[in-house]
Structures are given as structure tokens and as C-alpha cells.
């Protein structure tokens, strides 16, 4: 077998038989992560609030803001497979008033969004890491954002009613440093924990916003879920077993300028 074929086999089978939970797996990014894991012969578990539980199909109804729901989801996976190789913290719950201008954000909404997103990430990591510590292996990928790294460029919203929610930047910035903390804490147990920070992902947004964004980003286009999913899969694989505590930015060059 030549080197090219060997490399292709490594890529195709890099997640073979690994049991990987993806929260919010029915969403735009989550669906791409599920497909990527399956394409690399992994066992993808979609933990999402909007689907009925059918473990044979890899689906578990899960509300990440509810402790009992998290416990139930993890127990179902362990009962079925006896292990958890990977976790992708991707779910993105938010309040109905998400997206208000900064001056208009009620403090209770701010608190609720931090609780729904950041605290749920903490809780699921804590529960999963107890399992991975006993196993002495595992990988976690937290999905953050470029806006956890740099401040928003509000000019891309000119001509639209869109804005960047303040809580989003606070949550994603905290998530990145929280990832460094748990990576340091659990490294001795053969667990690697990283972040992926996407730039703007195209999702049929306001055309003016898309045009403004494309003009700024060096690669002159918004990202797609398929731009992000291969890196997430790589970080879950044994090929990345010595990579931990890192924040991998996938943004078409946005943060380079």
C-alpha cells in the first residue's frame, strides 16, 4: 500500500468505534459534526432537546440546562456502550430576547443566558470528566467563537437590524479559558480537551450583513459547517492525543488582521 492510501485510511478510520456525544447535534454545526464522525467510522450520539430518544439511531432527547436530563443522557450512553470516548459541547440555548442592543439587555436575561450556556457547559464537562477519569481516556471539544477571542466589528452589521449579543462574547471568552483550566487539570488522566472557535458561518443571514462580512474577511466568504467539522473530528481522534488546552480558530483569516 502506498503512502497516499495509508494516509487516506488513517483519515477515514481515525474515529473508528469511538463513542462521541454531540450536544445540539440537530443544529447547523451539530449536524455537520455528526456526519463527519459517522464518515470517519465513529459512533455519533446526537444529544438534542428537539428529538425523541432512540439510542439505536444514535438519538437522545437531552436538555443541557437540566441536571436530570444530562444524567439520563450519560447513563443511556454508558448502558449501551460502556464508555464515552468523546464529547462535543455544541448546544446553544438562549433566551427569547437574545440579540437586544447592549443598553436594552435586562440583567435577568444576562444571568439566564450565562446560566443556560456557560454553566451547562461546565456541568456536562464535570459529569463527563468523572467518567473519562475512571476510563483514563477521552477527548472533549468545546465550540467557542472568534468573539471569545477578539471584540466584535460592529461595522458588519451596518444597514441591518442585527447585532452581536453581549452575553455571547462573555460566554465564549470564558469557555475558552475554562477549557484551558480543565485541560491542565485532567491532562494526567490521558484526557485531552480543546476549543474550536469558528468565524461567521453562513446561514441565510441578511444579505447586507453577508456582503459586509465577506468584504472584511481575508478569504472573502463566510464559513460553512463543513469548514469546521474536520478539525473537530481531528481533535477527537488519536491523531490529536498530544494536543490539549488549545483554541483552534477557523475563521478565514478574520483574527489575522
Residues labelled catalytic: 168
CA distances from 153 to 5, 56, 160, 169 (A): 44, 44, 14, 12
Q: For the sheet with 43-48, list strands across it.
A: 59-61, 43-48, 19-23, 86-89, 138-143, 191-198, 247-250
d(CA 117, CA 112): 9
d(CA 220, CA 211): 9
CA distances from 218 to 103, 153, 197, 253, 254 (A): 32, 14, 17, 5, 6
Amino acid at each position: 500500500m502506498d503512502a497516499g492510501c495509508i494516509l487516506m485510511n488513517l483519515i477515514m478510520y481515525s474515529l473508528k468505534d469511538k463513542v462521541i456525544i454531540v450536544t445540539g447535534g440537530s443544529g447547523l454545526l451539530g449536524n455537520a459534526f455528526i456526519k463527519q464522525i459517522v464518515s470517519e467510522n465513529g459512533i455519533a450520539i446526537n444529544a438534542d432537546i428537539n428529538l425523541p430518544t432512540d439510542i439505536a439511531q444514535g438519538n437522545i432527547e437531552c436538555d443541557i440546562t437540566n441536571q436530570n436530563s444530562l444524567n439520563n443522557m450519560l447513563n443511556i450512553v454508558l448502558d449501551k456502550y460502556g464508555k464515552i470516548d468523546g464529547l462535543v459541547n455544541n448546544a446553544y440555548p438562549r433566551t427569547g430576547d437574545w440579540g437586544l442592543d447592549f443598553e436594552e439587555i435586562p440583567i435577568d436575561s444576562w444571568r439566564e443566558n450565562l446560566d443556560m450556556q456557560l454553566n451547562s457547559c461546565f456541568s456536562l464537562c464535570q459529569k463527563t470528566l468523572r467518567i473519562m477519569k475512571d476510563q483514563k481516556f477521552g477527548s472533549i471539544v468545546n465550540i467557542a467563537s472568534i468573539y471569545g477571542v477578539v471584540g466584535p466589528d460592529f461595522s458588519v452589521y451596518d444597514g441591518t437590524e442585527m447585532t452581536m449579543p453581549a452575553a455571547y462574547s462573555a460566554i465564549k471568552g470564558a469557555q475558552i479559558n475554562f477549557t484551558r483550566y480543565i485541560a491542565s487539570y485532567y491532562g494526567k488522566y490521558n484526557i485531552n480537551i480543546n476549543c474550536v472557535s469558528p468565524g461567521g458561518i453562513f446561514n441565510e443571514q441578511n444579505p447586507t450583513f453577508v456582503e459586509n462580512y465577506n468584504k472584511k474577511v481575508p478569504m472573502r466568504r463566510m464559513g460553512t459547517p463543513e469548514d469546521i467539522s474536520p478539525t473537530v473530528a481531528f481533535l477527537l481522534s488519536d491523531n490529536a492525543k498530544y494536543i490539549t488546552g488549545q483554541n483552534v480558530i477557523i475563521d478565514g483569516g478574520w483574527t489575522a488582521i
